[in-house]
Amino acid sequence: MLKIFHIIRSIHLGGAEIVAFNIAEFCNKPSQKFEFVIVELHKTQDEYSRNKKKELESKKIPFISLGPKSKNISLLVDHFVLAYHVLKQKPDIIHSHTDLPDLVVSNTKRLFTFFHWKFPRIVRTIHNTMLWPSHDFLGKYVEKSFEEDWIAGVSEQSLMAYEELRNKYGMEISVHRRVIYNGCNMPEISEHPFKINSDKINIAFCGRFEMQKGIDILIERIKLINAKYKDEFLFHIIGDGTFKNEVVKLSNEYDNVLVYNAVPNISNKLKAFDYLIMPSRFEGLVLISIEASLSKVPVIAAYAKGLSETLPVGWPLQFNLDDEHELMSIFEKIKEKEYNLQTLKNQAYNFATEKFSLKRMVEEYSQLYSEVNR
């Protein structure tokens, strides 16, 4: 049996984390070929993470917290703690997800190299199309540690971003690279905490309140939409992040803007909404868009790398992020019922079921792990 450490930022809401959880749960069905351990960089203790940890325990998926709650302190000690667990548990493969886990793995590998210890094989999933955009020197330092590791891009654009990064740094591109699209379970319908108003059109935003997700743009667009159609739409903003204060302020100004903390298993609750809006600047391959399509909830999406790949070609609910009139036009057409909703739902659903199967994803990762261990 192969033992595999999945290194993630934290046991929290996020596409990379959900991919790691799904691999750990479903790659062993029906046969028990692998032993997975979820490794978070810093300890999480909010309601979402507590519930998720209970779920992992119920599914007999072990997890480790490398550092304390403080992210900055954790990054100072994580590589020492990871080295301890690697020496103690002897995993066959280290599977790293996103930039900070890559940083910790690279530092741990340097420790092993210094002491002439053998380090496990490394698999990295590239979850984004923008890699080290504001920390170029650190990106170069991290990438220098990786040679002939196994690379899985969650989209064509994310794999291209990895190749461009290696070229920029003058480093060899791994020959062991491929695209493995994120896979999603078919959502179930479950109870939800959302205050749905059936007399209005319910629009949801689900994700981190960060620049990447375009939450700052959404705040400004909601103000414009409300100036023209205040009584038509009800916005449900779900998540947490840097722009939390701005989001709360918006909800205090408008009674049609409701704010919720991150909600566990949100994919099973998306059916409550009429539309999902995603004003992202860039993505790797965003799961929530796929989950919405599988729930037959149409996605209003910005044109963005990694997000556009989740939707059918020519999807009519896409808009340019810097053009406020395009989004306003979409909302105008929604209000006037100009879209054939059933056609949109079926089109997106058929596209998602064919391209983003969970079964296909776990089969491809299982095959990858088997290749790594040869």
Please give the structure tokens belonging to residue 24. 């750990």
- Within a domain: 188: no
User: What residue numbers bound the domain in which 242 lies?
Assistant: 201-355
User: Is 167 in the same domain as 48?
Assistant: yes
User: Is 112 in the same domain as 11?
Assistant: yes
pLDDT of residue 112: 97
pLDDT of residue 30: 72
Alpha-helical runs (H) found in 120-185: 136-143, 156-168
pLDDT tens digits for range 48-77? 899 999 999 999 999 999 999 888 899 999
pLDDT of residue 290: 93
pLDDT of residue 47: 85
User: Is 32 in the same domain as 143?
Assistant: yes
Residue 259 belongs to a domain with what CATH number? 3.40.50.2000
pLDDT of residue 94: 98
Number of domains in the chain: 2
- The span from the CA of 6 to the CA of 23, in Å, is 9
Asked if 66 and 78 touch (Cβ cutoff 8 Å), the reply is yes
User: Is 86 in the same domain as 162?
Assistant: yes
User: Is 296 in the same domain as 318?
Assistant: yes
- Within a domain: 192: no
Asked if 122 and 96 touch (Cβ cutoff 8 Å), the reply is yes
b/e map of 352-362 (b: 16 or more CB within 10 Å)?
beeebbbeebb
User: Is 178 in the same domain as 225?
Assistant: no
User: Is 154 in the same domain as 237?
Assistant: no
Question: Exposure of 185 by Cβ count < 10 A (0-12 exposed, 13-18 middle, 19+ buried)?
Answer: middle
User: Is 238 in the same domain as 304?
Assistant: yes
Average confidence (pLDDT) per 10 residues, the chain, 374 residues: 96 87 88 92 90 94 94 93 98 97 98 96 94 93 96 94 97 96 86 94 94 95 92 95 95 96 89 96 87 96 91 96 94 96 96 90 94 88
pLDDT of residue 262: 87
Specify the pTM: 0.79
pLDDT tens digits for range 265-308? 888 999 999 999 999 998 878 889 999 999 999 999 999 988 99
- Within a domain: 189: no
User: Is 156 in the same domain as 35?
Assistant: yes
User: What single string gives the DSSP state of each residue in 315-345?
Assistant: -TTEE-TT-HHHHHHHHHHHHTT-S-HHHHH
